[in-house]
Amino acid sequence: MSIQASSGVTDHLTDRAPVLVVGAGPTGLLLAAELHRREVPCVLIDERSGPQHWDRATVVHPRSLELFESLGLSERFLALGTPQRGAKIHSSGDVLGAFDLTSSGSSYPYSLGVSEEVTEAILTDYLGAQGGEVTRASRLIGLTARPDGVVAEVERDGERIQMAASWVVGCDGLHSPTREASGIGFDGHDLAAPWAVFDATLDPWSEVFDLTFVYLETVPVILTALPGRRWRAYLRPSSPESDLVAEATATIRRYYPAVSFVDVENPTRFHCHTKVATTFRAGPVLLAGDAAHLCSPAQGHGMNTGLQDAANLAWKLALVHKGWADPALLDSYEAERLPVARTIGVEGDDFEHMELATDANARNDRDRSMRAMLADPTARQHEIVAEAELDVEYTDSPIVIGDAHRGLAPGQRLPDTIPTRWSATESGRLHERTRHAGHTIVLLNGTDADRGAVSELLDALLDVVAGSPMLDAVIALGVGEQPTEPAGHIEASAADVLDVDGITLFAVRPDGYIGLRADHDHLAALARYQALVLGHS
């Protein structure tokens, strides 16, 4: 569906768009593509006349790579990016410590260095494959409420058109017209110290190319790896007129006296902010990505958090649009994602404070604290999981149910490392079997239960899925080599990780999180869960 402009301002409404997505950055592209995949027509507009040719954002975290794998996109990203397997932290001419993402708990034990314009190009192709497109040179200039949604006024090529939409999702950044038109507040503050960035090659360079290097000197510098043995150098310049390359060189030469930045490209200064929208939903208007939250770029969470917003919202909005779920389901989007945004904002501010310490005593205290954290296995592992964005849970969500467990509990992410075996020649990971637009039911038989009872339960589940608007598939697995009805198997060690020793049912949401865990009364529990999500009594 495309917007067709008419001459001048007009009261004529184009064909109704069930969803208008504003902003074709990574968040908007992914959201629009996932809506189209679920057969929800939407219009995606962007004020830019064409794709951007360079953007300063770089890092794709393991959790985002898991998301891209579920969409069949990970191989493209891996082909165009370069691994960043951890980080090494320096200060005062010395190494404070390092961490390695190998222990993160993801099958992607690294972040990926890939410039954001590449991410946007891949997602634009994915959107096209789902039947969508970007309507460019189109700027949202106003929203008017209607009983059945909103009327959006859009300026395109100097002309204005009006279009009706049931839902509008603003993915349109810091100065979001969607957020401003809907009257949603944006609380927070500007980061006082500016940032700068450039791309370059380091010559000579004797270190590895698959780590992020952090130098907490007077002019802090962060080096993130790019393909082709290139680096994206982020720094905090000393003044608005300073020579960026000279300042970054002075910091790096404290450690490598002979090194120089060569083939420098895209030197850019920019300002950052820590802000979170007061709400992520105002009636038919929702916010995602940078329109909903901004944070320090130091830890690379901004774009990745927006991608997870899109994955969370798409399946819910599809259920509501099709009339299968009550619109109240969309309140769970804010309930789940707003706390995440606030957390990354606080953590980013903490890093800003730590990075910019100038007082000698404060710097010494910081360095001692960082040495201790990186030397302590428990604290370091906490940092690793947070860096990979695998610490996000929805255990307090209003739409997850089931008993808490020491293993896999409701609201937690389904690990993508659980091995499965389906035949003598076919194996894989459980995560790979849950790639559906709707929920996947996973039935684990951790006992030598009566095969007739298991088969009867499985047949009943298949009937439930066949008649459900939100369930797509059933996967049945046994533990070890027991001759039970499930066609696949997991190792006993994996059953221990999941804390399964009987018959357990998991409802795996489309975004990879557990909506339901039921260790008994499986069919009744599933019925309660469906009623909770869909808003049916």
Mean pLDDT by 10 residues, the chain (537 residues): 43 69 98 98 96 93 97 97 97 96 96 97 98 96 93 92 96 97 97 96 96 97 97 96 98 97 97 97 98 94 97 98 97 98 96 92 96 97 96 97 86 94 83 93 82 86 96 89 64 86 93 96 97 89
pLDDT for 361: 95
Cα 114–chain centre separation = 15
Of 419, 427, 417, 412, the residue nearest 511 (C-alpha): 412
Tokens of 305: 């958090």
10, 167 Cβ separation under 8 angstroms: no
pLDDT for 406: 80
Q: Does the 195-271 domain belong in CATH 3.30.70?
A: yes
pLDDT for 486: 58
pLDDT for 426: 84
114, 58 Cβ separation under 8 angstroms: yes
Return d(Cα 89, Cα 205) in angstroms, integer.
17
pLDDT for 447: 76
Tokens of 283: 């009636």
Of 104, 116, 60, 53, the residue nearest 83 (C-alpha): 60
Q: Where are the beta strands (DSSP E) in 337-406?
A: 401-402
pLDDT for 10: 42
The β-bridge relationship of strands 195-203 and 149-156 is unpaired
Of 371, 248, 234, 354, the residue nearest 300 (C-alpha): 234
Return d(Cα 91, Cα 66) in angstroms, integer.
33
Q: State phi, psi for 536 to the nearest 5 degrees.
A: -100, 140
Name 198's Cβ contacts closer than 8 Å, sequence gap at least 6.
232, 233, 244, 245, 248, 261, 264, 265, 266, 267, 268
pLDDT for 4: 46
Cα 275–chain centre separation = 18
Tokens of 327: 């619109």
Return d(Cα 83, Cα 483) in angstroms, integer.
42
Return d(Cα 128, Cα 242) in angstroms, integer.
43
Task: Please state whether the predicted TM-score (pTM) of the whole model is above 0.75.
Answer: yes
Q: State phi, psi for 495 to the nearest 5 degrees.
A: -60, -35
| In 23-168, alpha helices (H) | 26-37, 62-70, 74-80, 116-129
**Superfamily classification of domain 401-534:** Glutaredoxin (3.40.30.10)
pLDDT for 1: 44
Q: What is the DSSP letter of 413?
A: B
H/E stretch holding 22: strand 13-22
Four-point Cα dihedral 372, 375, 376, 379, nearest 10: 80
Helix, strand, coil content of the chain in percent (nearest 5)? 35, 30, 35
Cα 141–chain centre separation = 28
Q: State phi, psi for 348 to the nearest 5 degrees.
A: -65, -40
Which residues of the chain form CATH 3.50.50.60? 13-58+115-186+276-353
Return d(Cα 94, Cα 91) in angstroms, integer.
5
Q: Does the 13-58+115-186+276-353 domain belong in CATH 2.70.150.10?
A: no
Between the alpha carbon of residue 534 and those of residues 274, 317, 507, the distances in Å are 34, 11, 14
Tokens of 35: 């809506």
Strands of 273-277's sheet, edge to edge?
Answer: 186-190, 273-277, 293-294
Which residues of the chain form CATH 3.30.70? 195-271
Q: State phi, psi for 188 to the nearest 5 degrees.
A: 145, -150
pLDDT for 390: 96
Measured from the Cβ of residue 236, the count of other Cβ atoms closer than 10 Å reads 21
